[in-house]
Amino acid sequence: MLSQNGVAGKPRWYGRPRATCVLAECKGRMRDMLSRVARQVIGRGVALIAALAVGSSGCTSAPARPTWRAGSLRGANVLLITIDTLRQDRVGAYGRRRGLTPAIDRLATAGIRYANAFSHVPMTLPAHASILTGLTPPHHGVRTNVTFRLDERVPTLATVLEAAGYRSGAFVGAFVLDARFGLNHGFDVYDDHYAHQGDATTFKFVRRSATDVLKAADDWILQPRAVPHRPAAASGQAPWFAWVHLFDPHAPYEAPAEYRAGRAPYDAAVAYTDATVGAFLDRLRAERALDRTLVILTSDHGESLGEHGETTHGLFAYDATLAVPLIFSSPSIGAGVIESAAAHIDIMPTVLDLLGVTGPPTLDGRSLVGKAAVDRPLYFEALDANLARNWAPLTGIIRGGWKYVELPIPELYDLRADATERTNRAESDRPMREALARALAALTSSSAATSGTPAIDAAAADRLRALGYVGGRAAPADRRYTEADDPKRLVALNERFNTALEAFNEDRRDEALRAFMALLGEGPDFETARTSAATVLLSEGRADAAVALLESAPPEQRGSPQLLARLGSALRQRGDLQQAAAAFERARQAGDQNPDLFNDLGVVYARLGREALARAMFEELLRRDPDAAGTWYNVGILELEHRRTDAAAVALRHAVEADPSYAEAWQALGAATLDRDRVAAIDAWEHAERLRPRDYDLLFNLATVLADSGRGNEALPYLQRFVREAPRDRYARDIQRVEATIARVRRETR
143-176: pLDDT as tens digits: 999 888 999 999 999 999 999 999 999 999 998 9
Task: Please check the confidence at residue 95 and state whether its pLDDT lies above 80.
Answer: yes
Please give the backbone phi and psi of residue 136, each rounded to the nearest 5 degrees, phi first.
-75, 165
Give, in order, the Cα–Cα distances in Å from 580 to each of 233, 566, 575, 607, 686: 51, 10, 8, 11, 36
pLDDT beyond 50 at 25: no
Residue 406, pLDDT > 90, answer yes
Q: How does residue 50 score in pLDDT terms, banded at 50, 70 and 90?
A: very low
Taking 80 as the threshold, does the pLDDT of residue 203 lie above it?
no
* pLDDT of amino acid 446: 63
In whole angstroms, what is the distance from residue 443 CA to residue 421 CA? 23
Pick from 481, 503, 500, 502: nearest CA to 492: 500
- 8 A C-beta contact, residue 127 and residue 371: no
Which pLDDT does position 700 carry in this prediction? Answer: 95
* pLDDT, tens digit (0-9, with 9 covering 90-100), for 223-253: 877 665 555 445 557 999 999 999 999 999 9
323, β-bridge pairs: 118
Higher local confidence (pLDDT), 65 or 313: 313
Q: What is the pLDDT of residue 230?
A: 58
3-state secondary structure of 141: coil
Digit-coded pLDDT (tens) for 615-650: 999 998 998 888 889 999 999 999 999 999 999 999
**Residue 356 to residue 17: CA distance in whole angstroms:** 44
What is the Cα–Cα distance from 112 to 340, expressed in whole angstroms?
A: 12
Which band of pLDDT confidence, cut at 50, 70 and 90, is reported for residue 30? very low
pLDDT of residue 593: 74
pLDDT digits (tens, 9 = 90+) for 484-494: 999 999 999 99
Q: What is the mean pLDDT of the chain?
A: 86
Report whether pLDDT(598) > 90. Answer: no
Cis? peptide before 252, omega within 30° of 0: yes
* β-pair partners for 114: 338
Name residue 648's amino acid: A
Q: Which percentage of the chain shows pLDDT scores above 90?
A: 72
- Among residues of the chain, what percentage have pLDDT more than 70? 84
Amino acid at 583: A
CATH of region 77-173+208-386+397-429: 3.40.720.10
Most confident of the ranges 63-72, 347-356, 590-599, 656-665: 347-356
Between CA 509 and CA 518 the distance in angstroms is: 14
Return the pLDDT at 296: 98
Length of the chain: 750
Look at residue 5 and tell me whether its pLDDT is greater than 70.
no
**Least confidently predicted of 75-79, 85-89, 227-231:** 227-231
As a whole number of angstroms, the distance between CA 247 and CA 695 comes to 33
Quick check: 450 pLDDT over 90?
Answer: no
Distance set, CA 15 to CA 196, 205, 493, 575, 680 (Å): 18, 6, 17, 27, 39
pLDDT at 6 over 50: no
Q: Is the dihedral of CA 460, 462, 468, 470 positive or negative?
A: positive
More reliable by pLDDT, 657 or 38? 657
87-to-91, 119, 229, 277, 403 alpha-carbon distances in Å: 7, 11, 39, 16, 18
Residue range(s) in the chain whose domain bears CATH number 3.40.720.10: 77-173+208-386+397-429
> Does position 4 have pLDDT exceeding 90, yes or no?
no
Q: Which of 618, 599, 608, 532 is nearest to 570 (CA)?
A: 532
The gap from C-alpha 587 to its chain's centroid, in whole angstroms, comes to 20
Phi, psi dihedral angles at 88 (to 5 degrees)? -60, -40
> Beta partners for 171?
191, 244
244 SS3 class: strand
Q: In what order do the strands lie in the sheet with 167-171?
A: 189-191, 167-171, 240-246, 77-83, 293-299, 326-329, 112-114, 336-338
What local confidence, expressed as pLDDT, does residue 300 receive?
98
CA–CA dist 486, 409 (Å, integer)? 7
Pairing of strands 240-246, 342-343: unpaired
String of DSSP letters for 641-654: HTT-HHHHHHHHHH
pLDDT at 455: 38
pLDDT at 468: 44
* Residue range 46-58: mean pLDDT, rounded: 28
Angle value at C-alpha 36, between 30 and 41, nearest 5 degrees: 150
At 35, the pLDDT band (50, 70, 90 cuts) reads: very low
Please state the rounded mean pLDDT for residues 345-371.
Answer: 95
Report the C-alpha gap between 267 and 30 in whole angstroms: 53
Q: Tell which phi-psi region holds residue 182, choosing left (phi > 0), alpha (psi between -120 and 50) or beta.
A: left
State phi, psi for 499 to the nearest 5 degrees: -65, -40
Highest mean pLDDT, choosing among 77-91, 521-535, 588-602: 77-91
Q: pLDDT tier at 282 (50, 70, 90 boundaries)?
A: very high
